[in-house]
Chains A and B, each alone.
Chain A
């Protein structure tokens, strides 16, 4: 009899605490078009798989009358569960409890589940929806943030870390997502900034809305802080689930292998590419023509779209694709696209994912703004990331591979395992026009008709050098292949690279040009 009483008491306690900030606050959350923290977790994880910890944790604040306040779970839900059977650790800030503000115990709960994820070597997912530091808790809340950042850093490259921004994430709080591998944002719901509109108005007198300052679109398109953009929370959860299928649980494992599927693409690859190297095409069509099931899961679709990154599968095995996009800015490398590609390459390398590079680029973006923005050190990140990576690295040169771009895009010289080139490849120190202008400067200047002579010399240069055979003659390119052979060659290359073992000298860590 008495046991029953205790059980009923537990149930009552649970029910009360599980309501978070109470029905009124939940209504308010829904009115903002947002799901509650609990319903988010349940929507994301496999049915019945969520197990919660620290439900009964209470806050620690004693000053400013806080001792009289009850904050259920201290504004954050933590636990474990599965996504398509893969174990994950998860936390979700509960905006209905004191605005999801971060106090000492709130942070303790988060660091507890982070420690757990790291120890169990499983992915960590954090759902952020918080007004920021709990001011009443003073330096304790700052300590909490710091301890989260520290763990983000220690876990980086060991377990996948995913951040989901489903509400405000402001001030210091933004740095936890920034330290994680993938950041998901949802239109009209996500807001991220260091200093909000009110501070900007006080200091500058400039008026800007939260959405314009740090909304989902801003981070997906302009800042590059977000990797995935969704129209709704449910769409966002689908993206996260899909991502989980592509990545391993930790850095000692490989991603799950799926049954191989032939591409759905049925045309000829060579028909995707215009014969005039100055005409654009969408390089994603080439990836889809090569990848299993023509399925390409693009990352950072809207930021620096002059380079395309994302996951696909080759023979069922997760593969990272990095491809110049001639459709946007002619596919040049610039500060943003270098940054985007380099980080992705390092991600693939950390988590044992082979990298396929599709190259068609005219070089680096010229301009004062680029030079002054530091295109040298940003561009260097690409060189660093490719050289450093020890996963299988395969390059296919589709058309242009000029100058520094040729070296940067996983060339043989940076350690590519396999270099393929289509017969349309133009591997040269620079574009034919530029090269002819320099090499034949004297002939052009001294000619009776310099323009005609220039044209003649450009043609001569194109015929002699704008092809893959000069590089192939030196062994810089392993094989000149027909476009139709691309998938077959790539599958083979990945297959024979399965046991790749590339040992590097011991070091504490490198010093990449961050």
Chain B
């Protein structure tokens, strides 16, 4: 909290470069990643209750891939388009944080 030692860095706003300090929050921010439609991520922290499809299975759009229990609710995770399960990264009973890669599809 006591950021007394001045570690001035270059900081560009509208093409002009300023000398300034950074906040911890700014320095720790996560770089933006373009979402990959082939990766099924957890949209809420919870527990994987049941895997409904196996690796290699052909799945139609709207079919349930797995059940993610979160906030006392059995949430169905659906297939976003017709495709195939490429790889499964989670096991039944596993707790996952938000934004965790659960399944790769193609």
Q: Which residues of A contact B (CB under 8 A)?
A: 203-206, 217, 220-222, 229, 278-280, 302, 304-306, 326-332, 336, 362-363, 365-369, 372, 402-403, 430-434, 437
Flag if A332 contacts B13 (CB, 8 Å): yes
* Chain B 62-92 residues near chain A, CB threshold 8 A: 70
Contacts A326-B20, A336-B25 given; indicate if A203 touches B95 (C-beta within 8 A): yes
Q: How far is the CA of A366 from the CA of B15 in the complex (A)?
A: 11
Q: Which residues of B contact A (CB under 8 A)?
A: 1, 8, 11, 13-26, 29-30, 32, 45-47, 70, 95, 97
Flag if B20 contacts A328 (CB, 8 Å): yes
| Chain B positions within 8 Å of A302 at CB level | 1
Contacts A204-B45, A204-B95, A336-B25 given; indicate if A366 touches B20 (C-beta within 8 A): no
| Least distance between A203 CB and chain B CB atoms (Å) | 6
Contacts A332-B13, A363-B14, A437-B15 given; indicate if A217 touches B20 (C-beta within 8 A): no
Contacts A204-B97, A206-B97 given; indicate if A328 touches B16 (C-beta within 8 A): no
Flag if B13 contacts A362 (CB, 8 Å): yes
Q: Which of B8, B19, B23 has the most CB of A within 10 A?
A: B23
**Chain A: which residue is nearest B17 at the CB level?**
A278
Flag if B24 contacts A280 (CB, 8 Å): no
Flag if B20 contacts A220 (CB, 8 Å): no
| Least distance between B101 CB and chain A CB atoms (Å) | 16
| Least distance between A213 CB and chain B CB atoms (Å) | 14
| Chain A positions within 8 Å of B18 at CB level | 278, 280, 326, 330, 362
9 further contact pairs, Cβ within 8 A, besides A204-B95, A372-B32, A434-B14 = A278-B16, A280-B18, A280-B21, A329-B22, A336-B25, A362-B13, A363-B13, A363-B14, A434-B15
Flag if B15 contacts A431 (CB, 8 Å): yes
| Least distance between B32 CB and chain A CB atoms (Å) | 4
Flag if A221 contacts B95 (CB, 8 Å): no
Flag if A328 contacts B21 (CB, 8 Å): yes
A-B pairs, top 8 by smallest CB distance, nearest first, are A368-B32, A330-B18, A431-B16, A362-B13, A433-B15, A330-B20, A205-B95, A434-B15
Flag if A431 contacts B97 (CB, 8 Å): no
Q: How far is the CA of A336 from the CA of B17 in the complex (A)?
A: 22
Q: How far is the CA of A25 from the CA of B96 in the complex (A)?
A: 40
Contacts A220-B1, A336-B25 given; indicate if A203 touches B17 (C-beta within 8 A): no
**Chain A: which residue is nearest B26 at the CB level?**
A329
Contacts A203-B95, A280-B8, A368-B32 given; indicate if A432 touches B16 (C-beta within 8 A): yes
Contacts A369-B30, A430-B14 given; indicate if A329 touches B97 (C-beta within 8 A): no
Flag if B20 contacts A327 (CB, 8 Å): yes
Contacts A204-B45, A329-B22 given; indicate if A369 touches B95 (C-beta within 8 A): no
Contacts A206-B97, A369-B29 given; indicate if A431 touches B14 (C-beta within 8 A): yes
| Least distance between A52 CB and chain B CB atoms (Å) | 37
Flag if A330 contacts B13 (CB, 8 Å): yes
A–B Cβ pairs within 8 angstroms, 13 of them: A203-B95, A278-B17, A280-B8, A280-B20, A302-B1, A327-B20, A328-B20, A329-B11, A329-B20, A330-B13, A365-B13, A431-B13, A432-B16
Q: How far is the CA of A221 from the CA of B70 in the complex (A)?
A: 30
**Chain A: which residue is nearest B47 at the CB level?**
A203
| Chain B positions within 8 Å of A278 at CB level | 16-19
| Chain B positions within 8 Å of A326 at CB level | 18, 20
Q: How far is the CA of A217 from the CA of B3 in the complex (A)?
A: 13
| Chain A positions within 8 Å of B14 at CB level | 362-363, 366, 402-403, 430-431, 433-434
| Chain B positions within 8 Å of A205 at CB level | 95
Q: How far is the CA of A229 from the CA of B23 in the complex (A)?
A: 17
| Least distance between A447 CB and chain B CB atoms (Å) | 18
Flag if B13 contacts A305 (CB, 8 Å): no
Flag if B1 contacts A366 (CB, 8 Å): no
| Chain A positions within 8 Å of B70 at CB level | 203
Contacts A203-B95, A204-B97 given; indicate if A327 touches B13 (C-beta within 8 A): no
